[in-house]
Structure 1
Amino acid sequence: MNPLAFAALDLPEPVRRGIGDAGFVTATPIQEAALPLALRGKDVAGQSQTGTGKTAAFLIAAFTRCLSHPAPARSGPTAPRVLIIAPTRELVVQIEADARLLGAHTGLGILAVYGGIDYNKQREALREGCDILVGTPGRLIDYLKQHIWSPARVEVLVIDEADRMFDMGFIADLRFILRRLPRPEKRQSFLFSATLSFRVMELTWEFMNNPSQITITPQQKTAEKAEQVLYHVGREEKFNLLLGLLRREGGSRILIFSNTREEARRLEDRLGRNGWEARALT
């Protein structure tokens, strides 16, 4: 079966031009599954790994909706039409870059808010207004509580990497924002996650409107000789477990992943103080 060509989709010309600028010709599996549903106005909950094209899928759908519906008159604080929530600064920056490329011809204002850069400068940029707002939960809440922006007119909601929202402890912040949006039937919503676990599906049941569920199986399998082990431990036990595993497994080349650069630096320091030569790459 041939992959879906973007030319076969009913897309506004400015969106087609952005797709052309990005060099896209045919859809990836997640795009082929999600876009026809999204373009019909359906909510979508998709299970898909990073790098599968999910960002382009929800951006194309969001741009198309904005261009197909007249923008409401603005009054009061900034009221974005599209709200995209992601768990990390790096992901927010990448989504913003993709949005600027794909949306270059749409005339829609795109803004990202996240930690690590000038707080006041970002706040003033948000005060000036935008159509597409991308942000991390914490920074979005900061500006929301200051009434710099309002979620009252959000037409499209995107939650990206929902499973990591739980893993990184952002779920309370996420719910705080979601409870202030228009009701699910008054907006279109997209959720993407590496896994559609029960806790992730609870989000869809509470904050989405009968979403279509899509699962894309990863093409890359774990190498046959790679052993995988999962340990369920409390936060305070993790480092002692790590030390025990290092002593047991030995070896001179060990790669440890962490969720944040701050955690990577803390691990470098703690491992050094316990006799392990380590370097953090951030």
Structure 2
Amino acid sequence: MKFTDLNLPEQVLKGIADTGFTDCTPIQEKALPPALLGKDVAGQAQTGTGKTAAFLISLFTRLLNQEKAGTEHHPRALILAPTRELVVQIEKDAQALGKYTGFNIQAIYGGVDYMKQKNALKEGVDIVIGTPGRLIDYLKQKVYSLKNIEALVIDEADRMFDMGFIADLRFILRRLPPFDARQNLMFSATLNQRVMELAYEFMNVPEKVAVTPEQMTAERVEQVLYHVARKEKFPLLLGLLRKKGMDRTMIFVNTKREAEYLYDRLNANEFPARVISGDVEQRKRMRILEDFKNGKLPIMIATDVASRGLHIDGVSHVINYDLPQDAEDYVHRIGRTARAGAEGKAISLADEDGAFHIEDIHEYIKEKIPVEWAEDELFVHDYKRTKPRPKPESKPAAKPKGRNHGKSGGKAPARTVEKPVETVAVEGEAVKKKRRRRPKRKKPAGEGGQEPNAEG
């Protein structure tokens, strides 16, 4: 099916033409016809198959064909996503596809531009794309209203549950117009029981569409698994990077500490890399992503904060330096390559710990990852070593617990913490406090001209 076969407004068709799309992807071919008729849709398809374009085209068409209700400039459509990176990506796609629609589109997410986003909402926007947290913040301040919402989109709904956003999501949904007074669209890589319960609660008899649910991974991703000892993982990684011609590579790890370890060693061995993790400040994250998208940065190391929602053209390879502990994350990680019909390769390194997760991954993706055995010449052992970063200091416990600590033992840490603060910061006050306490307990008063206390 071609987009020109659908009954789309001219403004939307021009935006689609500018992006270079001509034929519908399978999920678009199934989801667009009912959505364009105004029906609620719950769509399932693996990552990178065009879900974002499907709900944006439906949303633009509805808003263009339906006259705006009321005179107040409150948002007409709301798109909810679980991560900041996904919000930014959706806004970018929306600006491209909606270039000729005349709609004012605003992204709302934490970490940047608090007052700028707040002022934009006050001035009035047509379409809001945001994460639940900051949207609720502005909503409680009455910066904007949800009473005029004509269309709702929930993207990656399963991730909303995984990240603990379901309470925030329900808070927002309960402040929208009745479910039968708006169109509701839900798209995700997985539509499990929890997600469908949410759909039946807040959607108007949604039509469920799915594309190849029996195949969890994208077709054009070539997968390979190497079994390797922990101490040999980095030498093998260097060999792969040197000999495979990986122009734009994403390397996934499970922890921030592992990401820092790889960052130090790769840069020391002349492989420029940067790290994306939950602890990286938002503005810095966006700069790193922009450099990676523009080709200035060849390697990006990431935790699972970057495993969903990022559409980066030309990612040639995804490397699972650590196999994910959650099988579903494997699908989302390797989905960063081979997007929109392109080809890519996903390489996984299974060490002694990672091997325990292979069976769960095979069961989830309903296929076995082909195994290759690395030749000896693929390992690089003449690399530069780096000193490990010192472990962060552990915070002292506020109060010791245990059967050996009675009431008096519980007070000791408070005295230990307070004494140096008083002595160093305001030493004079500390001395005065001691002098004030003494008359009450031991010394007869007589200092400062006071009458002595009678004793006995």
Q: Same fold (TM over 0.5)?
A: yes
Match of 2:145 among 144, 150, 155: 150
Cross-structure match for 1:185: 180
Amino acid in the other structure paired with 1:281: V
Contact kept in structure 2, 1:48 and 1:194, CA below 8 Å: yes
Cross-structure match for 1:27: 24
Match of 2:113 among 104, 112, 118: 118
1:95 and 2:95 equivalent?
A: no
Contact kept in structure 2, 1:18 and 1:104, CA below 8 Å: yes
Cross-structure match for 2:76: 81
1:203 and 2:201 equivalent?
A: no
Contact kept in structure 2, 1:268 and 1:280, CA below 8 Å: no
Give the Cα–Cα distance (whole angstroms) in 1 for the partners of residues 256 and 122 of structure 2: 34
Cross-structure match for 1:220: 219
TM-score by length of 1: 0.81
CA deviation digits over 1:227-270, x for unaligned, max 9?
9xxxxxxxxxxxxxxxxxx96x9733685445xxxxx546657x
Amino acid in the other structure paired with 2:211: I
Amino acid in the other structure paired with 2:67: P
Change (3 A) 1:20 1:120: same
Amino acid in the other structure paired with 1:213: K
Q: Tell me the SS of whatever aligns to 2:129.
A: strand
Q: Tell me the SS of whatever aligns to 2:30.
A: helix
The alpha carbon displacement at 1:74 in A equals: 3.0
Give the Cα–Cα distance (whole angstroms) in 2 for the partners of residues 114 and 266 of structure 1: 26
Match of 1:59 among 50, 56, 61: 56
Change (3 A) 1:169 1:257: farther
Amino acid in the other structure paired with 2:189: A
Report 1 or 2 for greater relative contact order, CA contacts < 8 Å, sequence distance ≥ 6.
1
Give the Cα–Cα distance (whole angstroms) in 1 for the partners of residues 221 and 120 of structure 2: 44
Give the Cα–Cα distance (whole angstroms) in 2 for the partners of residues 159 and 20 of structure 1: 26
CA deviation digits over 1:80-132, x for unaligned, max 9?
11100001111111111111111111111111011121211111111111111
Cross-structure match for 2:6: 9
Cross-structure match for 2:404: none
Contact kept in structure 2, 1:158 and 1:191, CA below 8 Å: yes
Cross-structure match for 1:238: none
Give the Cα–Cα distance (whole angstroms) in 1 for the partners of residues 22 and 63 of structure 2: 22
Contact kept in structure 1, 2:28 and 2:51, CA below 8 Å: yes
Give the Cα–Cα distance (whole angstroms) in 1 for the partners of residues 210 and 87 of structure 2: 23
Unaligned runs of 5+ in 1: 228-245, 259-263
CA deviation digits over 1:143-192, x for unaligned, max 9?
11111111111111000011111111111111110111111111101111
Contact kept in structure 2, 1:265 and 1:280, CA below 8 Å: no
CA deviation digits over 1:198-224, x for unaligned, max 9?
011111011111111111125438878
Cross-structure match for 1:281: 275
Q: Tell me the SS of whatever aligns to 1:143.
A: helix
Q: Tell me the SS of whatever aligns to 1:251.
A: helix
Give the Cα–Cα distance (whole angstroms) in 1 for the partners of residues 95 and 221 of structure 2: 34
Q: Tell me the SS of whatever aligns to 2:74.
A: coil
Change (3 A) 1:109 1:224: closer
The alpha carbon displacement at 1:225 in A equals: 6.2
Unaligned runs of 5+ in 2: 238-250, 267-272, 277-456
The number of equivalent residue pairs is 251
Q: Tell me the SS of whatever aligns to 2:82.
A: coil
Cross-structure match for 1:251: 233
Give the Cα–Cα distance (whole angstroms) in 2 for the partners of residues 224 and 277 of structure 1: 25
Contact kept in structure 1, 2:259 and 2:275, CA below 8 Å: no
Contact kept in structure 1, 2:109 and 2:134, CA below 8 Å: yes
Amino acid in the other structure paired with 2:275: L
State the identity %. Answer: 56
Change (3 A) 1:159 1:266: farther
Change (3 A) 1:181 1:195: same
The alpha carbon displacement at 1:69 in A equals: 0.7
Give the Cα–Cα distance (whole angstroms) in 1 for the partners of residues 223 and 95 of structure 2: 40
Change (3 A) 1:146 1:266: farther
Cross-structure match for 1:230: none
How large is the Cα RMSD of the aligned pairs? 2.6
Change (3 A) 1:166 1:221: farther
Q: Tell me the SS of whatever aligns to 1:30.
A: helix
Give the Cα–Cα distance (whole angstroms) in 1 for the partners of residues 11 and 138 of structure 2: 31
TM-score by length of 2: 0.51
